[in-house]
Amino acid sequence: GDQIRSDLWIFPPNDFCNRGRAWWLDCHPEPVLIDCPPVNEGTIQLLKKLAGNRRPKIILTSREAHGSISELNDSLDWPVLVQEQEAYLLPTISRLETFSDVFLTDSRLRLLWTPGPTPGSCIVHAEAPWNVVFCGRLLIPTKLNFLGALRTGRTFHWPRQQKSLQKLREFIPSDAFPRLASGACLDLLENDFLVPWDCW
């Protein structure tokens, strides 16, 4: 993993997630791992080091980001949170938690159900001082340093995805201007992989 800033790490592309990227946010009291990074000894050791004596939560933003989550769960035994429509895909996860429309974590991160890319897609809004929206596959790099919604053969429901984009705009306070952290392949992004709020 690479440290983007003092509280944020990004992991290498995961070939089991269509080269998607996972993120670590060091928030208190409960840090979060967002989506599944490549599972290997180096990743496991880094995550344990980042966690320290805390028990982080793993948040999965869509079924496209599950990767080897069962293997990761076996190594770490951290609770896993998903939107309820995709919980059935994770029958072996012992500490599985679900939510329906909105959810607030112990560290006051706000989750919003944003169906479209997959039935149970969601975004994670970390308000100030973090000021980041982890947007999963709802918004992906479509041109240099710009995110957009992209209809592909794997898109679950395009009209719902359009409605989810509007839900996202209404969910984020108008004065927040968070940075955007996509969970997709980030080859089109430069620098720190965080995209300004107005670049979508």
What is the identity of the amino acid at 161?
Answer: Q
The band of 156, judged by pLDDT with boundaries at 50, 70 and 90, is very high
Q: What is the pLDDT of residue 191?
A: 73
How would you classify the pairing of strands 57-59 and 80-83?
Answer: parallel
The position carrying tokens 């975004």 is: 123
Tell me the HSE value of 172 on the side-chain side, using a 13 A CA sphere: 25
| pLDDT at 46 exceeding the cut of 80 | yes
| pLDDT at 1 exceeding the cut of 90 | no
Distance CA 54, CA 29 (A): 8
The sign of the torsion formed by the CA atoms of 138, 54, 73, 8 equals positive
Instruction: Report the pLDDT averaged over residues 1-18.
Output: 95
The band of 125, judged by pLDDT with boundaries at 50, 70 and 90, is very high
| pLDDT at 96 exceeding the cut of 90 | yes
User: Considering the chain, what is the average pLDDT of its residues?
Assistant: 96
Distance CA 137, CA 148 (A): 10
Region of residue 91 (phi > 0: left; psi between -120 and 50: alpha; otherwise: beta): alpha
